[in-house]
Structure 1
Amino acid sequence: SNMKFLVVLALISVCNANVLWHEQPKTNVDLVKDAFWDYVAKATQMAEDSLKQIQASELGQEVNTKLSQSADTVNQYVVALKSQAGPLSQDLLSQITQQAETLKSRLESELSAVNTNVQPYAEKLVSDLQTKMDELKRDIAPLAEAMDPETLKAVLMQKSQDLKTTLQAQMEPYAEEMKQKMEQSIEDFQTSLMPLAQSFEAQVNQKVQEVQQTLAPYGEELKAKLEANAQDVKAQITALWEAFTQKTSQ
């Protein structure tokens, strides 16, 4: 039926656009509706005001209701994905925390050897390290929860570099040998972060693929039909438009 076709078309647009896996300012329902009406506009080359008329009509409302229902189905999968990914982001954060603690205790034990007149500097360095670590975790948490490994990797690099620069600036009062030790500890910390982020990315991608495979039966078969029947698609949308104009001209 026409309506079923519309719903499917919307689903395909959404699945193909792969918009589901990142936090978007719009809801998935809005994205589905936009994708669909955008498709209608392109396929029929309809004037914008005509399209707006359809959208506002009873027929348009009916279409939007169906689109909302299809988006809800997709949303259920997305919710399932996010619940599966929750433990992944928790795991990543606790591993980063662990590396941070390791760095902190390494620096503390290295600095415990410094003489008393440098002690106040040592305390400030450790306290600044703690602040930077807290910032890093605070900035990473929402990205891990949103399952956005790309941005997460970039922020992790930037923040760990920032941390390194801050601490290096405070190394002036120390002997060369001490500086080298501290530098090494910070380097090791930085090096430990990337594999964690990459492993997180691989796990997230796997979950996304699992969910996309679950959604694929909606999309693949129908996408093939759409491609085979491009003219038919246009005909169906045109028929929709004609049905609409008949209703409104009565």
Structure 2
Amino acid sequence: MKILVVLLLVFFTGQRTSFFQVPYQHQVEMVQNAFWDYVGKTTMTSKEYVWHIRKSAPGKNLELISTSIEAIYGFFNTVYTQVVLWTNDFYRKFCHEIDNLKYHMEEFMEDLEGGVLFHSTEMAAQLRCKMEDMKKYIAYYIESLDPKGLKECIMGQIQELHGEMYESCEYMQNYEHHQPDHHYHHHKHHYPKYTCDKNKIDEHMEEFQGIILLMVNNFEGQLDTTTNEINRKMAPRGKKLLNQSPLVVFTLSSFLRKRF
């Protein structure tokens, strides 16, 4: 049953905007494939034999079960409630923490953007883009239900962002150290003297990394819990389907008797 649940989890996570829409043909085919994968796993039948059963006349009649709109919506409603709602909530929390980091770094960013330093404006723009890109990466791995990939990606992004902030800070400090006082006073209106505090950058980045890491771990735990819960709810349906459908048992047993 796990193969069916995993396929449904990955498929329905991306259906936020079509809760009550009739499934597209390729969506129905995915449910059909999941159904036949489940039949093969449950009966320990090879994919080749399952394919022959599926293409046989009884198999085509049997496939009507897996194309039932009611059954599809039953799976959809369960998965939507259990997965999509809390993944959306996780994504909103991730975005909130990224926006919170941007808020703490705003003074530093404004000094970069408002300075007379060569490339300083570009540096600030790159840092802002990098923080916004983190939201895109997070969205991708959350929708893929891949907590390990999310952790690896986001930790790498945080380290890169930390390093780039350090480089920008050093660039500002080196500029100030090499400019005479009259140069500073001349540009005072445009670039107020500012001592970049690396300790504050470390403090905010370490706090941000700790919060994000905790959220990723919670995401992984919630995914495991939800998968187990869906397995628990769906397994009886799968067993009931096979137990109450003599056609399934008859088709499989007849086909296997011919083969062996």
- TM-score, normalized by the shorter chain, greater than 0.5: yes
The equivalent of 1:31 in structure 2 is 34
Aligned to 2:170, the other structure's residue is in SS state coil
Q: 2:150 aligns with which of 152, 173, 176?
A: 152
Aligned to 2:105, the other structure's residue is in SS state helix
Amino acid at match of 2:98: A
- The answer as to whether partners of 1:23 and 1:146 remain within 8 angstroms in 2 is no
Q: Normalized against structure 1, the TM-score is what?
A: 0.64
Number of residue pairs the alignment of both structures matches: 218
| Distance of 2:30 and 2:72 partners within structure 1 | 11
Please give the per-residue CA displacement for 1:83-115, whole angstroms capped at 9, x wherever unaligned: 44333223222222222222222222356689x
The equivalent of 1:173 in structure 2 is 171
Cα distance change of structure 1 residues 240 and 167 upon mapping to structure 2, 3 Å threshold: same
Amino acid at match of 2:254: A
- The answer as to whether partners of 1:93 and 1:141 remain within 8 angstroms in 2 is yes
Alignment of 1:57 with 2:45, yes or no, is no
| Distance of 2:39 and 2:164 partners within structure 1 | 50
Shift of residue 135 of structure 1? 0.8
Consecutive unaligned residues of structure 1, counting only runs of 5 or more, are 1-11, 226-232, 246-250
Aligned to 1:36, the other structure's residue is in SS state helix
The equivalent of 2:252 in structure 1 is 237
- The answer as to whether partners of 1:85 and 1:207 remain within 8 angstroms in 2 is yes
- The answer as to whether partners of 1:22 and 1:148 remain within 8 angstroms in 2 is no
1:19-168 paired onto structure 2 within 5 Å: 19-23=7-11, 27-37=30-40, 43=45, 54-69=53-68, 73=71, 76-110=74-108, 123-168=121-166
Shift of residue 34 of structure 1? 4.0
Shift of residue 193 of structure 1? 0.7
Alignment of 1:189 with 2:211, yes or no, is no
Amino acid at match of 2:228: Q
| Distance of 1:62 and 1:220 partners within structure 2 | 19
Aligned-CA RMSD value? 4.2
| Distance of 1:196 and 1:13 partners within structure 2 | 25
Cα distance change of structure 1 residues 152 and 82 upon mapping to structure 2, 3 Å threshold: farther
- The answer as to whether partners of 1:125 and 1:170 remain within 8 angstroms in 2 is yes
| Distance of 2:107 and 2:197 partners within structure 1 | 11
Cα distance change of structure 1 residues 106 and 13 upon mapping to structure 2, 3 Å threshold: closer
| Distance of 1:82 and 1:215 partners within structure 2 | 14
Cα distance change of structure 1 residues 61 and 90 upon mapping to structure 2, 3 Å threshold: closer
Cα distance change of structure 1 residues 126 and 83 upon mapping to structure 2, 3 Å threshold: farther
- The answer as to whether partners of 2:169 and 2:196 remain within 8 angstroms in 1 is no
Please say which of residues 116-125 and 128-137 is displaced more in the overlay. 116-125
Cα distance change of structure 1 residues 21 and 13 upon mapping to structure 2, 3 Å threshold: closer
| Distance of 2:121 and 2:127 partners within structure 1 | 10
